[in-house]
Chain A
Amino acid sequence: MRRTLIIGYGNPLRGDDGVGWRIAGRLIEIVADEFTNVLAVHQLTPELAEPISEAELAIFIDAAHNGEPGSWKCESVAPDSIPSNALAHYFTPAGLLAYAEAIYLAKPEALVLSIAAATFDCGEQLTPGVEVVLPEVVQYICALISRPPKVPSRSYA
């Protein structure tokens, strides 16, 4: 099995922004093992470059600003050659991958699974349109990590 790192991130107190965090919370319970490391974090921070460097596959799960709420897509992401966002407290998946590559010479396959949000306002609940897609996203990731590399881009609207 491939060593996999799954990072779900977002603020669970800001409505749908917490969707990645919540999916990671579910995955911790059902797939985390010696090959699969699942992290639920508030935001991407530089030290995550280290676990990324130890993975063969890295999956980032985040809420998206654009799209029909509840629609989701899974796309490949490469290290960002222009590390603009890697300069803030807030890192992007591409910036973190660039960081992991620069420091640890690691270049795992990486995917970003993004779920379009309806609201980022204060609130602990996901909106119904986002909540309803959680099971299929979880199922998709479960299938993803047990199948061989080179997953085609896939989206649901």
Chain B
Amino acid sequence: MPKQILIDPVTRIEGHSKITIQLDDQGAVEDARFHVTQFRGFEKFCEGRPFTEMPSLTARICGICPVSHLIASAKACDALLAVQIPPTAAKLRRIMNLAQVVQSHALSFFHLSSPDLLFGMDGDPAKRNILGVVEAHPTLAKDGIALRKFGQEIIALLGGKRIHPAWVVPGGVSEPLTEEKRVKILASLPEASILIERTLSWFNGVLEEFREEIRTFGNFPSMFMALVTPHPNGVHQALLEHYDGVLRFVDAAGNIVLDQIDPLRYQDYIAESVEPFSYLKSPYFKPYGYPDGIYRVGPLARLNIIDRCGTPKADQEWAEFRALRRGVVLSSFHQHYARLVEILYGIERIEQILNEPDILDKHVRAFAKPNQFEGIGVAEAPRGTLFHHYKVDENGLIKSVNLIIATGHNNLAMNRSVKQVAQHYVKGSHLQEGMLNRVEAVIRCYDPCLSCSTHAIGRMPLHIQLLGPSGELLDEVKRN
């Protein structure tokens, strides 16, 4: 008779979730599942609202990545207006999105994952936390704060408001960039660059210590999907892209499965399955069916599908990253590395954009009334590709909303990763700290944002149950 281990909920991720690990008669792990247990019904909540409210409404789904929703939503609204937004507006939105990527990645790496990286997965739980990091490696902790602040300040400078920025609007942005703000942002870049390069150097130094985790943390063949720069003329190198572009799918060997896909056609390639054990939907690659159509999104996917990043230092670091493995990098443990490379890229790219000659152009918004009944907006959020899909009536009131969130795209991969780690580390019928931490840590590699994916928000104590063949409780751990 099978046994079951339950980890409920998982800590250091956003939202409510639990993990069940099913043991077989011999006590070996047969299956493992990552459950998302809270549901908010945000899509229903939006129905009947004027579409113009959607950017500021959806920005409030999440306190960690509001800008990503703001941007994807504004792009969906641009589509409803059927306008081409001014080029400078697109550049300014792009800067804000990159700042968001930097600050979100900084939260994930420094505040959530650095304790594991600094103290090891078996480190003393009393020390293996951010306060332990402050004590043992204060520079690392301070660099984390500073990089998050760097991104947040750019968002605040552009957004102009202390409460959710209403600067990104359908048709563009509400205010042009001033020279004063441009200079201020430019002045903050060198320090940010020093911090991330120092962190990369530290991280590369400790990577060797995690050989076993690299081998077992979500290290399996799958496809990867993300936006890349388009190539209208047919010959190009696909560069890292967070704001616009086209979809590309590559397989586990690095072969391009699909390229230059207009993101507006996402429904031709992505379908969503619903499992009874989770509120989190499971998107899959339609041509391969469910669940064979598993794919991953996010920093690891983005670095796996491009031909280069497109900025000098990030290109160099990307080459090191890709040298980790022939073909594409499969281990989800390397999401951490990919995040650091993307922070470096974000800093460089922001500088490039700020130095473009039209960045202070005053024409930053196109005005129109709704001209389409359906609009789709796609952007790369820190955790992966984000789709906002709206339908409106003749008065511009929302009839239906579909959001596909990065954490959703990764749902199948997170489940498979949990299973892989559980099969490798879970032994016997008693719960051990190092084992539990690894099961959680593999999920943290994806930095799931369950606020976004199920549109819920919550706090997470840890509850772990080990259930015997008939469902009897064999062991239990609770952490508040």
Contacts and interface: CB of A to CB of B under 8 A. Distances in A.
Interface in A6-23: 11-14, 21
Contact of B130 (A43, A45, A47, A99): A99
Interface string A36-47: 000111110111
Interface string B57-91: 10011111010000000000000000000000000
B148 A47 contact: yes
Given A42-B66, A99-B130, A88 B12 contact: yes
A50 B145 contact: yes
A132 interface: no
B459 A85 contact: yes
B11 A88 contact: yes
A100 B224 CA distance: 39
Given A87-B112, A89-B13, A11 B149 contact: no
A25 B163 CA distance: 8
A46 B115 CA distance: 15
A49 interface: yes
B130 A89 contact: no
23 contacts: A11-B63, A14-B457, A40-B162, A41-B63, A42-B63, A43-B64, A43-B457, A45-B64, A45-B107, A46-B111, A46-B145, A83-B129, A83-B131, A84-B129, A84-B479, A86-B130, A89-B12, A89-B14, A90-B460, A99-B130, A102-B131, A102-B134, A122-B45
A85 B111 CA distance: 12
A88 B459 contact: yes
Sorted nearest first, the 6 A-B pairs with minimum C-beta distance are: A42-B63, A43-B63, A89-B14, A102-B134, A122-B45, A47-B148
A103 interface: yes
Contacts of A49: 145
B60 A12 contact: yes
B134 A103 contact: yes
B269 interface: no
Interface stretch (B135-143, B213-221, B247-255, B337-345): B135-143
A98 interface: yes
Contact of A13 (B13, B57, B64, B149): B57
Nearest to A24: B163
A28 interface: yes
Chain A interface residue number, banded: 20 to 34
A11 B60 contact: yes
A70 to B, nearest CB: 22
A122 B42 contact: yes
A31 B61 CA distance: 28
Contacts of B144: 46
Nearest to B460: A88
A144 to B, nearest CB: 21
B267 interface: no
B149 A50 contact: yes
Interface in B154-211: 162-164
Interface in A83-124: 83-90, 98-99, 102-103, 122
Contact of B129 (A40, A45, A86): A86
Contacts of B112: 87-89
Contact of A87 (B11, B60, B63): B11
Contacts of B163: 21, 25, 40
B222 interface: no
Nearest to A90: B459
B141 A103 contact: yes
B333 to A, nearest CB: 19
Contacts of A102: 131, 134-135, 141
A43 B107 CA distance: 13
A85 B107 CA distance: 15
Contacts of B458: 90
Given A90-B459, A122-B42, A46 B480 contact: no
B107 A46 contact: yes
B145 A87 contact: no
